[in-house]
Amino acid sequence: MVATIFNASLFEGKTALVTGGGTGIGLRTARELAQLGATVVLASRKREKLDKAVETIEGEGGKAFAVVCNIREEESVREAVAAAVEAAGPIDLLINNAGGQFPSPAEAINSRGWHAVIETNLTGTFQMTREVFTACMKKRGGSIVNVIANIWRGFPMMAHTGAARAGVDNLTKSLAVEWGRHGVRVNAVAPGTIASSGLSTYDPKFQQAAQATAAFNQAFRLGTEAECSAAILFLLSPAAAFITGETLKIDGGDSLFAPMVPPAQHGKMPPFGET
């Protein structure tokens, strides 16, 4: 079981689709949704990770299904959404968490690398969102949360993903306006540096640099997957019924870093839900 601040039946009777749900923030969010009564469908490219994630959720008493999907491919998205609806029913909640990038100086990013990151983070998010809206939410309403990143001071060494995530931030606002008349809320969260399994995919030097960013936020530490999940679930929930088109930063104030008043170690903002 996972730590949660929400009512045990908050998402009872709801179906949630979580992209990138096999690991990291996506899996943590899916586990909490299932624990709170939702039927969860996990989508990712790798069947092995999906099967392990489903096993974890079912072992905690939740209900979960898995669909293999490459969000960069339109037909794959269409097939995955159809399979999700067939397995679990119409989708009420969509968490666009899937993404990917690699660190590089901007001048070293070739066209292939640029397009791969843009297509994954921006185009893939759009394709999945459009398909879920068309298949389910246009008639039934729903809630969507896009997971982006801390882009507010630029994204040096990650120019491609910074550009893509900024696009998703604007897409969030645009869709909130277009689809509000259908009862669909669209919001986003922007995590700072999170102590997530995703960090392990980078080389040791980059991991060290990421760890060092703890000195630039007011909690003076990295965030947790649970803290991201809590914010996502709030935006999905009825408590956020009057919130749409917003991006909630989960960065401990990193985006407000001011060299004249640097953060200090204090230990008074302990992490939530590390396990």
| Amino acid 118: pLDDT | 98
Note the CATH number of domain 15-256: 3.40.50.720
| Amino acid 274: pLDDT | 67
Contact status, residue 21 vs residue 84, Cβ threshold 8 Å:
no
| Amino acid 82: pLDDT | 98
Residue 197's pLDDT band (boundaries 50, 70, 90)? Answer: confident
Domain boundaries, the chain: 15-256
Q: How far is CA 154 from each of CA 73, 94, 162, 246, rounded to the nearest angstrom?
A: 28, 27, 7, 19
How many residues in total does the chain contain? Answer: 275
pLDDT digits (tens, 9 = 90+) for 55-99: 999 999 999 999 999 999 999 999 999 999 999 999 999 999 999
Residue 140's pLDDT band (boundaries 50, 70, 90)? Answer: very high
User: Over 60: is that where the pLDDT of 275 sits?
Assistant: no
Residue of 18, 95, 82 lying closest to 50 (CA atoms): 18
| Amino acid 49: pLDDT | 95
Question: How is residue 19 annotated by DSSP?
Answer: E
Residue 21's pLDDT band (boundaries 50, 70, 90)? Answer: very high
pTM of the model: 0.96
Q: In the structure encoding, which two tokens stand for residue 105, read together? A: 């100086």
- Can you say whether residue 206 is alpha, beta or left, with left for phi > 0 and alpha for psi between -120 and 50 degrees? alpha
User: Over 80: is that where the pLDDT of 20 sits?
Assistant: yes
Tell the residue number behind the tokens 């990650």, with chain if given: 158
Residue 258 exposed, middle or buried by CB count within 10 Å (0-12, 13-18, 19+) = exposed
pLDDT digits (tens, 9 = 90+) for 227-272: 999 999 999 999 999 999 999 999 999 999 999 999 999 999 999 9
| Amino acid 273: pLDDT | 87
Calculate the average pLDDT of the chain: 96
% residues pLDDT > 90 (the chain) = 92
| Amino acid 115: pLDDT | 98
